[in-house]
Amino acid sequence: MLISAGRFGEVASPKQWFLDVLADHQAVEIGVTTDLFIASCALPKSLHKDPMDRIIIATAREHDLTIITRDRAILSYGAAGHVKVLAC
């Protein structure tokens, strides 16, 4: 969205920008699987209903990752011990 709104400088394409960011940070892309979708619907305890947040949380739990966020609901969920979080 930021690229299409002109808020980033010249970029070849959104896909190329993303691939460059991955390469620059030696990061890997993790695919969303059927199991992750199912896990996102069965998270322990109550959490707001944003499906993307639930997928992010399920992915972090599955791959033992830390979510860096300002989202209060996710931070509270992490404080309850359900996922690793880091406030920014």
Q: How confident is the prediction for the chain on average, in pLDDT?
A: 90
User: Who's near 62: CB < 8 A, 6+ residues apart?
Assistant: 35, 36, 39
Instruction: Decide: residue 74, CB within 10 A, 0-12 exposed, 13-18 middle, 19+ buried.
Output: buried
pLDDT confidence bin for 4, thresholds 50/70/90: low
Is pTM, for the whole model, over 0.85? no
